[in-house]
Chain A
Amino acid sequence: MMDVRGNFPRSMRISLFITCYNDTLFPETGKSVVRLLERLGHQVEFPFEQTCCGQMHYNTGYQPEAMPLLRRFVEVFKNAEAVCIPSSSCVAMIRDHYSKMAEAAGDAALVRDVEDLLPRVFELTELLVNKLGVEDVGAYYPHRVTYHASCHSLRSLHLGDLPMRLLRKVRGIKLVDLERIDQCCGFGGTFAVKNGEVSAAMLEDKLRCVVNTRAEVCTAVDNSCLMHIFGGLHRQGAGTKTVHLAEILAATEEGMA
């Protein structure tokens, strides 16, 4: 593997906000982020006091319940040099709503803290490409892969081709385009339960597109969509697995051996 460390101006101290569901359900994603960032020469820290960004409460209509979670997030991360979040929907929650929530609470100090912190909050691919200036992270992943663009990554964070730029530099990978890539997979948080049947119909369309790619792996920057998609694929007995983008970027030839 080439030594990529020399490409970067300096080593950064990066605070990982793993998110509540990744912490609990997808620890491999977090481990991969840590391995990846450390491999690139950065120092990762994990503040234990972190819990949840408040997205589920906020989006379901329990906005007052999300407020203490906002305060908690700001308190935990306000001194971070950079916050890395491997989940675009949680970044969207923070970026799109925190300022408005703080203003609505009439807390001027909190508004200042939020505005001060927001420019240091990054989704994983934003951090890699925009902040750290790297596209080739030295990964090796010899599989047929299709990329699912989550709605928040597309229409809230406007990640554009950042994930694909990273994936194209992965050695051994065979990338296959997913048709109707801008169509929602039907997860939508509590929508998947509150409107389970419509969510299932949307999932069926997405699964058809995924299966058509004949990919071994479907990847994304959100494990929430992937949990939904993999759950459907497994129920149908399809062979495709889902893997968070961080896990692909963390994979190396040494790791495979």
Chain B
Amino acid sequence: MSIRVGEAAEAPSFQKAAHMLLKDDQLRTNVRHATDVITQKRSHVVAEQHDWQQLRDAGSAIKAHTLRFLDHYLDQFEAACTAAGGHVHWAADADEANRIIVGLIQRQGGREIIKVKTMTSDEIGLNRALEANGIHPHETDLADMIIQLGHDQPSHIVVPALHKNRRQVREIFMQAMGLKELGDRPEDLTDAARRYLREKFLKVKIGFSGANFLIAETGGVCVVESEGNGRMCLTLPDVLITIAGVEKVIPTFRDLEVFLQLLPRSATGERMNPYNSLWTGVHPDEGPREFHVVLLDNGRTRILADHESRETLHCIRCGACLNTCPVYRQTGGHAYGSIYAGPIGAILTPQLFDMEHSQSLPYASSLCGACYEVCPVKINIPEVLIHLRGRVVREQQSGASLEAIGMKAMARVFATRRRFEAAQRLGRIAQWPFISQGWIHHLPGMLGNWTAVRDLRPMPSQTFRNWWRGREKGNSND
């Protein structure tokens, strides 16, 4: 099986990418502004929802239950969707999903498709596969358009172009749409997108979407969106192809009452997003006459097998953990080298790869816990990060790294009182060369990362335990 997560296998380490991005003041200003606005809106609508914690409990419980009986629910979904006139396809990995989708489009003789925002298609690298087969995908979500027309990468799960400001968007649109004049108010830019895409919506015969929820009970699909481009792609074309990870299934229609309250408030800080579309297979006289759904594994069942971290699969892609994350807010999404950025990306990407790539990501967190606090399905991201750090340490199998040697030595120091006290004495001696005017301004090696921006006070001449010892002997005036 060959797992792909966008281009993440080739991405530089988080530290390296962050080093470059921290120098981009414009990007950091844009990211900060956007995340500030969303977190404020979110706090407001979450505070007014008095049963928020109960909704989180239910959302988490439904997801945990579904994972325990995932085979049952996928089977049920497949049967119900097929009975309603849909076609269900299964893809073990990204390449297989791309082959299936390209095949379906080629069978229709299609040369272009209209797409509504789907992270999963970015995960499998669908656009590249389509283009290699002479099929042009039109991204129709405003932000995705900005990314596609600007040959950029998404930096956020929900607002993929939040790293671009209005002037940058204007430049991209003028160039790509061949416009001589264009204002830079968001209204002007939105209007340009509306005019540019309306013709495509009416003309292109194949639509492509992701799915927010698959309903096992009915075989139905739910797509949540704001702009109406989703509804265009879901209803106007003759053929609709939907891709979804296998974890997107929920047991019943009724379960949506939980997720449709959790998702919009968490994602965009709205009580409800403008449009939710629900359909089941093919509807007579309504929408596409042919419907295909491609169910994707691409590493998900391996995450399921790790019981310490399977809760990663609860994720409903709301992006709240990105907006609140103090690390994401500094670097933006590109530092994570993956289409899945932020705290959820830091646990999802390496796990999809079975820890073969992206091993710096579990360390891209100060474990501050803000992500867990806002997660609508209660993924304990800090706990999963710690668990994955354990896997990184085990799987690097390089017991000889400086860090591993240091950590093992420290463990030996803490193992007995005698060694601990000896180390305290030794430390006081070892620090002498670095002290100047009562402070340490520079340290060698990894510790130099500390003194790059911070001074360090040297170890005081007396440890607490020595003070206590003296006090017991009556040598102290305390």
Alpha-carbon distance between A60 and B362 when the two chains are bound, in angstroms: 10
Complex interface bits, A167-199 against B, C-beta within 8 A gives 1, otherwise 0: 000000000000000111011111111111111
Main DSSP-derived SS at the A contact region: helix
Which residues does chain A contribute within 8 Å of B404, judged by CB atoms?
62
Alpha-carbon distance between A199 and B478 when the two chains are bound, in angstroms: 38
A155 near B370 with CB under 8 A, answer yes
A23 near B465 with CB under 8 A, answer yes
Alpha-carbon distance between A190 and B467 when the two chains are bound, in angstroms: 28
Q: Which of A186-232 contact B (CB under 8 A)?
A: 186-205, 227-228, 230-232
B49 at the interface (CB under 8 A from A): no
Main DSSP-derived SS at the B contact region: helix
Beyond A155-B372, A201-B330, is A193–B410 a contact (Cβ under 8 Å)?
no
Q: Quick one: which of B18, B365, B390 contacts A61, CB cutoff 8 A?
A: B390
Alpha-carbon distance between A189 and B450 when the two chains are bound, in angstroms: 11
**How many A residues touch B, CB cutoff 8 Å?**
70
B240 at the interface (CB under 8 A from A): no
B478 near A24 with CB under 8 A, answer no
B366 near A188 with CB under 8 A, answer yes
Q: Quick one: which of B411, B452, B454 contacts A62, CB cutoff 8 A?
A: B411
B393 near A69 with CB under 8 A, answer no
Q: Which one of A51-59, A111-119, A126-134 contacts B?
A: A51-59
Alpha-carbon distance between A19 and B449 when the two chains are bound, in angstroms: 24
B453 near A203 with CB under 8 A, answer yes
Smallest Cβ-Cβ distance to B385: which chain A residue: A59
B434 at the interface (CB under 8 A from A): no
B420 near A20 with CB under 8 A, answer yes
Which residues does chain A contribute within 8 Å of B415, judged by CB atoms?
51, 68-69, 72
> How distant is B419 from chain A, measured CB to nearest CB, in Å?
9
B414 near A51 with CB under 8 A, answer yes
Q: Which of B441-455 contact A (CB under 8 A)?
A: 441, 446-447, 449-450, 452-455
Among B14, B331, B464, B465, residue most surrounded by chain A Cβ atoms (within 10 Å): B464
Q: Which one of A7-15, A25-33, A77-85, A135-143 contacts B?
A: A25-33
A183 near B326 with CB under 8 A, answer yes
Which residues does chain B contribute within 8 Å of A43, judged by CB atoms?
none
B454 near A228 with CB under 8 A, answer yes
Alpha-carbon distance between A11 and B411 when the two chains are bound, in angstroms: 36
Which residues does chain A contribute within 8 Å of B373, judged by CB atoms?
155
B452 near A196 with CB under 8 A, answer yes
A18 at the interface (CB under 8 A from B): yes
Complex interface bits, A226-249 against B, C-beta within 8 A gives 1, otherwise 0: 011011101100000000000000
Q: A18-B464, A65-B408, A197-B15 are in contact. List 16 more A-B contacts (CB 8 A).
A: A25-B457, A30-B468, A34-B468, A35-B478, A51-B415, A52-B414, A61-B388, A61-B393, A62-B407, A62-B408, A183-B326, A193-B449, A194-B363, A231-B456, A234-B454, A235-B453
* 22 sampled A-B residue pairs with Cβ under 8 A: A23-B424, A23-B463, A23-B464, A27-B467, A30-B467, A30-B468, A46-B468, A51-B414, A51-B420, A52-B420, A56-B407, A58-B386, A60-B389, A151-B369, A151-B370, A187-B366, A192-B450, A194-B363, A198-B330, A199-B449, A203-B454, A227-B456
- Residues of A bordering B, CB below 8 Å: 18, 20, 22-31, 34-35, 46, 48-52, 54, 56-63, 65-66, 68-69, 72, 96, 151-152, 154-156, 182-184, 186-205, 227-228, 230-232, 234-235
Q: Which 6 A-B pairs have the closest CB atoms?
A: A188-B366, A196-B449, A231-B454, A61-B389, A184-B368, A155-B369
